[in-house]
C-alpha cells in the first residue's frame, strides 16, 4: 500500500510540473540542431523516438473516441520537430566522423545485411508506403472529417438548445455538450493541419537522405582521399541506416494519425471492434475456408499453409455459427420462461415428498387487483424485448420518459406510467398499444433494420421488406444497416426501430390524450396548481364542478 501511495504521489508531482518539463524538452530539441550530440546520447534519443512511436500507436488502439487524444495534433508537431532535430544531429556526425552511433550502424549492417543497395530499396519502399498510402489517405480523411464536423456544428447546437428548452437536460449539461462540440470541431480542424506535418516529414526525410549521400561521397572522395566505392560503402550505408531509423518511427506516427482520424466512436477498443465485425457472420468464413482449400491443391502452390489457414477459418466459422444459434435459442426461450413465471407465481410440479402442490387460493385483494386496468400499456413480442431491456442495450424506457416530459411541457398533459409487458401470443416482431385496455395501435418492428420512408420525393425503390409506417400510414421499407447511407442519399427518411415505436406511441398519446385525462388526474392537477394559486382554484371550483373542468381540459387536449 505504501508503494502504491508513493507511486501515485510521484505521478501527481510529475503532472504538476509537466508544463515545465515540456518547455525544457522543446528547448533541448532546439539545442540539438545547434550543439553537436555525442554518439551515446544520440543512441538514447533514437531509441526514445522509436519508443514514442510504438507507445502512441498502441494508445490509439484503446481510445473509444478521438477526443480522448485531444492533444494529438500538437504532440504530432512536437514529435516531428524532434525527429528533424535528430536528422540534423545524425547528419552532422555522419559527415564529420563517419560514425553516428550503434543504433544507426546496427540498422545499416544488421537490418539490411550491410548492403546499402538493399537498404536504399527498403528505405524507398518505406517512404512510398508512408507518403503515398498512409499519409495521403489520412490527409484526405482528416480534411473530410473537419469539413463535416464544421457543417454539423449548427445542427448539434440546435439539438442541445432544444433539449435544454424541453427540460431534458440542465444548464450545466448543455454547457458541457456545447464545449464538447466546440472541442470536436477544433480537434478535427487541427488534425487537418497536423496531417500536413506528417506529409512534410516524409518529404523532408527523403530529401535529407539524398543530401547526406551526395555530401558523404563528396567529403569521402575530395577531403579524405577515399575511392568512390569506399566512400559509397561507408557514407551510403550510414545514411541508409539513418533513413531507416528515422522513417520507421515516422511510419508509426503516420499510422497512428490514420487510426485516429478513421476511428469511429465505439463501445470498446479497436481490436475488439475489428474482431466483432469480422466474426459477426459465419458465411464469409466458410467461403474463405473453401477458397483456401481450393488453393491448397493448385499445382505449384504450397499446400500446408493454405490447408492450415483453411482449417482455421472453417473452425472459426463453425464457432461463430454455434454462438449465433445459442444466442438465438436463448432469445426465444427467455420470453416464454419469464411469462410463465409472471403468470404462475408458484410451481405446479411435485413437491419434495412427491405430492403435488396445490396453488394458493387468491385473496380478495388479489381479485380486486385483477380488475384494475392500466391507463396505457404496450404489449410486445419476444423479438422486441432487447429494445426495451436496458441490460441488453435497449433505450426504449428512456425514450418513453422523454415522451412523457414532452407531453407535459407541450400540452400540459401528465401521461400516467406506461406499462410494457411481453405477450407470447403476438408475432415475435409485433407490438400493440392499448389505452385503458382497448387496442389503439399495432405495428411490427425489425430490431436490426432501419425503416426507410418515402415522403413523396423518391422515385427509385430500395431493396428491403415493404411495410407501412404505423404512426402516419406512409409507405416504407425495412432495410439492412448497410443500405442506410444509400437510402438517405436517395431521399428516403431513415429511422431506427426504437424511433418508429416512440413516434407511434407519441402520436397515440396525442390522439387519445383526452381519455388519459381522468377525473383523478384533474384532481391532481388542481391540487398542484392550488399550492401556488389557491384563490384561482377556489374561484374556479365555486363556479364549475370537477367533472366540468375535466370536460374543458379534455376538449383542450
- Which class for 249: exposed (0-12), middle (13-18), buried (19 or more C-beta within 10 A)? buried
Gap between the terminal Cα atoms of the chain:
64
**Is residue 54 classed as helix, strand or coil in its secondary structure?**
helix
The yes-or-no verdict on residue 460 having pLDDT over 70 is yes
Q: Shortest CA distance to 64 belongs to which of 277, 276, 254, 264?
A: 264
Write out the three cell numbers for 66: 478521438
pLDDT at 524: 81
The yes-or-no verdict on residue 377 having pLDDT over 70 is yes
Eight-class DSSP state of 381: -
Distances (CA, A) of 151 to 51, 137, 140, 189: 38, 21, 17, 12
pLDDT at 433: 92
pLDDT at 114: 64
pLDDT at 345: 39
pLDDT at 352: 36
More confident residue, 130 or 475: 475
More confident residue, 105 or 270: 105
Q: Return the ∠ at Cα 40 (arms to 36 and 44), rounded to 5°.
A: 100
For the chain, domain boundaries: 25-271, 282-331, 373-513, 517-557
Cα distance between residue 520 and residue 515, in whole Å: 12
- Under the banding of pLDDT at 50, 70 and 90, the label for residue 278 is confident
The yes-or-no verdict on residue 398 having pLDDT over 90 is no
Q: 72-97 and 18-32 are packed helices; what angle lies between their axes, rounded to 10 degrees?
A: 30
pLDDT at 223: 81
Q: Which CATH superfamily is domain 373-513 in?
A: FHIPEP family, domain 1 (3.40.30.60)
The yes-or-no verdict on residue 368 having pLDDT over 90 is no
pLDDT at 432: 92
**Is residue 356 classed as helix, strand or coil in its secondary structure?**
strand
pLDDT in tens, 501-513: 988 998 888 888 8
More confident residue, 2 or 279: 279
**Is residue 353 classed as helix, strand or coil in its secondary structure?**
coil
pLDDT at 408: 82
pLDDT in tens, 299-327: 888 888 888 988 988 888 888 888 777 77
- Top mean-pLDDT range of 163-172, 173-182, 379-388, 530-539: 379-388
pLDDT in tens, 479-490: 998 888 888 888
Residue 464 — left, alpha, or beta (φ > 0 → left; ψ -120 to 50 → alpha)? left
Write out the three cell numbers for 499: 424511433
pLDDT at 333: 60
- Under the banding of pLDDT at 50, 70 and 90, the label for residue 280 is confident
Q: Return the ∠ at Cα 171 (arms to 168 and 175), rounded to 5°.
A: 110
pLDDT in tens, 40-91: 888 899 899 999 989 988 888 888 777 778 888 888 888 888 888 888 888 8
- Under the banding of pLDDT at 50, 70 and 90, the label for residue 364 is low
The yes-or-no verdict on residue 458 having pLDDT over 80 is no
pLDDT at 523: 82
The yes-or-no verdict on residue 341 having pLDDT over 80 is no
pLDDT at 514: 80
More confident residue, 142 or 351: 142
pLDDT (mean) for 510-524: 81
pLDDT at 51: 92
pLDDT at 155: 67
The yes-or-no verdict on residue 355 having pLDDT over 60 is no
Strands 438-444 and 450-453: unpaired
The yes-or-no verdict on residue 361 having pLDDT over 80 is no
More confident residue, 236 or 451: 451
pLDDT in tens, 183-213: 888 887 888 777 777 777 778 878 888 888 8
The yes-or-no verdict on residue 401 having pLDDT over 70 is yes
The yes-or-no verdict on residue 407 having pLDDT over 50 is yes
- Mean per-residue pLDDT over the chain, rounded: 78
Amino acid at each position: 500500500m505504501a508503494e502504491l501511495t508513493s507511486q501515485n504521489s510521484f505521478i501527481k508531482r510529475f503532472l504538476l510540473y509537466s508544463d515545465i518539463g515540456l518547455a525544457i524538452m522543446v528547448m533541448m530539441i532546439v539545442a540539438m540542431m545547434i550543439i553537436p550530440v555525442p554518439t551515446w546520447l544520440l543512441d538514447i534519443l533514437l531509441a526514445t523516438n522509436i519508443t514514442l512511436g510504438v507507445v502512441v500507436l498502441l494508445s490509439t488502439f484503446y481510445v473509444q473516441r478521438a477526443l480522448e487524444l485531444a492533444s494529438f495534433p500538437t504532440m504530432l508537431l512536437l514529435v516531428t520537430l524532434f525527429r528533424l532535430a535528430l536528422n540534423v544531429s545524425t547528419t552532422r556526425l555522419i559527415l564529420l566522423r563517419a560514425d553516428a552511433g550503434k543504433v544507426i550502424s546496427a540498422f545499416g549492417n544488421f537490418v539490411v545485411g550491410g548492403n546499402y543497395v538493399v537498404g536504399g530499396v527498403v528505405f524507398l519502399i518505406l517512404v512510398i508506403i508512408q507518403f503515398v498510402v498512409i499519409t495521403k489517405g489520412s490527409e484526405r480523411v482528416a480534411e473530410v472529417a473537419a469539413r463535416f464536423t464544421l457543417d454539423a456544428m449548427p445542427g448539434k447546437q440546435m439539438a442541445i438548445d432544444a433539449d435544454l428548452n424541453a427540460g431534458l437536460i440542465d444548464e450545466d449539461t448543455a454547457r458541457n455538450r456545447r464545449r464538447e462540440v466546440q472541442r470536436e470541431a477544433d480537434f478535427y480542424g487541427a488534425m487537418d493541419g497536423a496531417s500536413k506535418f506528417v506529409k512534410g516529414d516524409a518529404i523532408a526525410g527523403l530529401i535529407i537522405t539524398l543530401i547526406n549521400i551526395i555530401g558523404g561521397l563528396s567529403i569521402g572522395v575530395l577531403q579524405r582521399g577515399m575511392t568512390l566505392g569506399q566512400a559509397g560503402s561507408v557514407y551510403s550505408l550510414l545514411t541508409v541506416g539513418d533513413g531507416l531509423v528515422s522513417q520507421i518511427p515516422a511510419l508509426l506516427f503516420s499510422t497512428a494519425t490514420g487510426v485516429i482520424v478513421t476511428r469511429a466512436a465505439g463501445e470498446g477498443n479497436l481490436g475488439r471492434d475489428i474482431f466483432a465485425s469480422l466474426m459477426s457472420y459465419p458465411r464469409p468464413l466458410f467461403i474463405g475456408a473453401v477458397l483456401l482449400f481450393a488453393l491448397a491443391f493448385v499445382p505449384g502452390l504450397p499446400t500446408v499453409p493454405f490447408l492450415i489457414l483453411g482449417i482455421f477459418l472453417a473452425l472459426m466459422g463453425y464457432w461463430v455459427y454455434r454462438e449465433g444459434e445459442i444466442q438465438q435459442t436463448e432469445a426465444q426461450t427467455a420470453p416464454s420462461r419469464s411469462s410463465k413465471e409472471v403468470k404462475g407465481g408458484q410451481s405446479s410440479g411435485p413437491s419434495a415428498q412427491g405430492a403435488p402442490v396445490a396453488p394458493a387460493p387468491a385473496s380478495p385483494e388479489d381479485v380486486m387487483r385483477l380488475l384494475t386496468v392500466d391507463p396505457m400499456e404496450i404489449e410486445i413480442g419476444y423479438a422486441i424485448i432487447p429494445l426495451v431491456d436496458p441490460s441488453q442495450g435497449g433505450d426504449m424506457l428512456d425514450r418513453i420518459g422523454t415522451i412523457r416530459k414532452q407531453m407535459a411541457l407541450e400540452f400540459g398533459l401528465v401521461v400516467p406510467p406506461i406499462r410494457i409487458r411481453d405477450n407470447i401470443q403476438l408475432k415475435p416482431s409485433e407490438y400493440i398499444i392499448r389505452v385503458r385496455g382497448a387496442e389503439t395501435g399495432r405495428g411490427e418492428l425489425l430490431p436490426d433494420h432501419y425503416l426507410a420512408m418515402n415522403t413523396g420525393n423518391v422515385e427509385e425503390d430500395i431493396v428491403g421488406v415493404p411495410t407501412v409506417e404505423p404512426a402516419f400510414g406512409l409507405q416504407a421499407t425495412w432495410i439492412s444497416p448497410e443500405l442506410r447511407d444509400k437510402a438517405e442519399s436517395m431521399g428516403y427518411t431513415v429511422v431506427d426501430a426504437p424511433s418508429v415505436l416512440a413516434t407511434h406511441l407519441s402520436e397515440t398519446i396525442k390522439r387519445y390524450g383526452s381519455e388519459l385525462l381522468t377525473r383523478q388526474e384533474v384532481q391532481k392537477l388542481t391540487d398542484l396548481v392550488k399550492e401556488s394559486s389557491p384563490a384561482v382554484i377556489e374561484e374556479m371550483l365555486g363556479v364549475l364542478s370537477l367533472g366540468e373542468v375535466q370536460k374543458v381540459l379534455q376538449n383542450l387536449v
